[in-house]
Structure 1
């Protein structure tokens, strides 16, 4: 529901502010007359606590020439997302949420500087740039100091949302009949992803991991942690492994990643998890196993049928992330910190740690990309490329070996 707040001014006059929540953020409009404020409040409520169609903030109802076949931006984006194929329902729900909360902030500003509701046809490149700035700045909560109605977005989140926006506009460009001739997202100057410090990623040295692992007293849980750091597999992949995924009889023992746990759409299956394909096409892969992982795999596969989960709890069920994280991993990290561990690793940091160990051993990034199941080498480079500095000495030695050999003189011929 919308509300009206009286805001006295220094000159003795009063401004009547209509205030309501829309898409997770606060929206406001100011009036000098309480009757006008009450009328606008009723309009907002009649539109489902949204800006009335055709109303421009600070201007009122402003007419703009209509474009044949034009559609409101959010309506067109919703239609596009609902028609996507090849994605699971959880991903579709995530896209719709991004559209509803973030992409809906897109507005069109005409040549006179007036704001208009965004449509799939009226948005310009400048409008997209303005949207990027809105995402960067966030929205302070008008009711509280140092609080946010909508927090500033980090560069990676902006880039991901801009990618979804690009695809929606591109669909309008390629539509029949064509709704747009150009994509307004094509030349957007996005904030650099590397302009901020990524404080989430944590890399453990071998002795640091050993200090955490020593605090995991459940041997089955310890084996699963060793498996994660030893293979670099995602939690959802490792906990979904079955005995039939193992190949321990060949000269090169391996495990096949064929499935992963996925969270169901809200309201579907009670928001529980279900087995589905891995994250991307290249995430369906075969991972070579070291002798330590082979020993763990043999121990857990012995006496089990092919369809049994490889890693199971003491009750014989597959491990759930919340169970493992809260009952096994977090307590172990907390004890290790109390005994002097200088880091606070998350469970997913075992995957990052695995990569750091491989890079430290001189394994090239393309091989790491394949092992991790990254769809693109660019993902691997962007995330872990800075760790390759550990190979600087080897690079310098190689360059020196080449440059140190005198070049043959011109005109001389071998005898």
Structure 2
């Protein structure tokens, strides 16, 4: 009972405002009034003041503050490069548009209008817009979790359709042509691209490899980490997913090439006065680990005086899969080698590279006639 009469004839108001989120103790107040009428009025005023304070606190949180809440959580829960990407995307595409917005009044229609604004820029692909909208939705999810708003206005906003670009990759003969374009004394680059083509490792996984990750007896590479550069700092993390932690079987010629590069790297380090050990990063050529940018740029550089069309660094991964498919490997083998989370992922990305089974079936029918 919120109002009750005491033995001395006065009236006590007993109002609870929930529980303290830290201590767990009930937040309550019990003022005294002379009459029941005054007590009821006091109770109503206390509840109104409490609701007004809650409303003011919610309205006091602007979009920039909400964004900072999201980024703080993102920095703790995510890999550094993902956090960096989110921070860039918000500052580049989201922050200015919503900086003066009233969070309580943003509806589904305002979100649709924002997406139309992104489309009208004519500078962003549908994939980029979908990524921006996904980040915006995460920001509003934070607002819901913080009890600033009741529902996420981004909910039920459909993703824009994607046009799948033709996947680029090199066939074995094109890769051999590329390797022959690299001067023989540039052993590190020849080794790096050969490893990429013959294993399908991600660039971050390759650059995080150390010599003690190679098992020469079992002829395997232990993939347990990935790396990135964030604001001038070299950061090593666990791979993309738990399935990315794997062991990759490698062929004898690749092992010999790696061993040859190791001897060349030792000589280079001696000249530079750098300590060389089994913990040295395999593709390090100076006193700090390498960035992937140089390996991306060099592809075009080596191809510039040839008729070979350059591909992206990530396309070496696609090239490896195309090679495996051409050799008749099944989805499960490819899934395990790439470190995909499921066979369905492998099928979704690379299924179109498999030979047309219907054509094979139709050709067999000729034998019946």
TM > 0.5 between the two? yes
* Aligned counterpart, 1:146: none
* Aligned counterpart, 1:222: 190
SS in structure 1 of the partner of residue 111 of structure 2: helix
* Aligned counterpart, 1:91: 82
Structure 1: distance between partners of 2:207 and 2:90: 32
Q: Is the 8 Å Cα contact of residues 106 and 128 (structure 1) preserved in structure 2?
A: no
1:398 CA displacement: 6.7
Counterparts in 2 of 1:74 and 1:256: CA distance versus 1, 3 Å = same
Q: Is the 8 Å Cα contact of residues 191 and 258 (structure 2) preserved in structure 1?
A: no
Q: Any residues of structure 2 matched to 1:93-242 within 5 Å, and which?
A: 93-104=84-95, 117-138=100-121, 152-175=123-146, 178-194=147-163, 198=165, 201-217=167-183, 218-242=186-210
Number of equivalences: 298
Q: Is the 8 Å Cα contact of residues 106 and 153 (structure 2) preserved in structure 1?
A: yes
Counterparts in 2 of 1:331 and 1:69: CA distance versus 1, 3 Å = closer
Structure 1: distance between partners of 2:175 and 2:150: 55
Q: Is the 8 Å Cα contact of residues 78 and 96 (structure 1) preserved in structure 2?
A: no
Q: Which has the higher contact order (CA 8 A, sep 6+)?
A: 2
Counterparts in 2 of 1:292 and 1:125: CA distance versus 1, 3 Å = farther
Counterparts in 2 of 1:67 and 1:187: CA distance versus 1, 3 Å = farther
Which of 303, 319, 324 lines up with 1:358 in the alignment? 324
1:255 CA displacement: 0.7
Give the structure-2-normalised TM-score.
Answer: 0.69
Counterparts in 2 of 1:77 and 1:119: CA distance versus 1, 3 Å = farther
CA RMSD of superposed structures (Å): 3.4
Say whether 1:69 aligns with 2:58: yes
* Aligned counterpart, 1:23: none
SS in structure 1 of the partner of residue 149 of structure 2: coil
User: Which structure is higher in helix share?
Assistant: 2
Q: Is the 8 Å Cα contact of residues 260 and 277 (structure 1) preserved in structure 2?
A: yes
Q: Any residues of structure 2 matched to 1:263-282 within 5 Å, and which?
A: 263-265=229-231, 271-282=232-243
Instruction: Return the index of the structure with the highest Cα Rg.
Output: 2
SS in structure 1 of the partner of residue 228 of structure 2: strand
Q: Is the 8 Å Cα contact of residues 282 and 375 (structure 1) preserved in structure 2?
A: yes
Q: Is the 8 Å Cα contact of residues 82 and 92 (structure 1) preserved in structure 2?
A: no
Unaligned runs of 5+ in 2: 1-54, 267-275
Q: Is the 8 Å Cα contact of residues 94 and 136 (structure 2) preserved in structure 1?
A: yes
Unaligned runs of 5+ in 1: 1-65, 108-115, 139-150, 266-270, 405-415
Structure 1: distance between partners of 2:345 and 2:162: 12
SS in structure 1 of the partner of residue 78 of structure 2: coil
1:98 CA displacement: 1.6
* Aligned counterpart, 1:310: 282
Q: Is the 8 Å Cα contact of residues 248 and 337 (structure 2) preserved in structure 1?
A: yes
Structure 2: distance between partners of 1:399 and 1:288: 37
Q: Is the 8 Å Cα contact of residues 300 and 310 (structure 2) preserved in structure 1?
A: no
Structure 2: distance between partners of 1:355 and 1:206: 12
Q: Is the 8 Å Cα contact of residues 211 and 336 (structure 1) preserved in structure 2?
A: no
Counterparts in 2 of 1:256 and 1:119: CA distance versus 1, 3 Å = farther
SS in structure 2 of the partner of residue 273 of structure 1: strand
Q: Is the 8 Å Cα contact of residues 129 and 189 (structure 1) preserved in structure 2?
A: no
SS in structure 2 of the partner of residue 102 of structure 1: helix
1:367 CA displacement: 3.7
Structure 2: distance between partners of 1:118 and 1:358: 52
1:259 CA displacement: 2.5
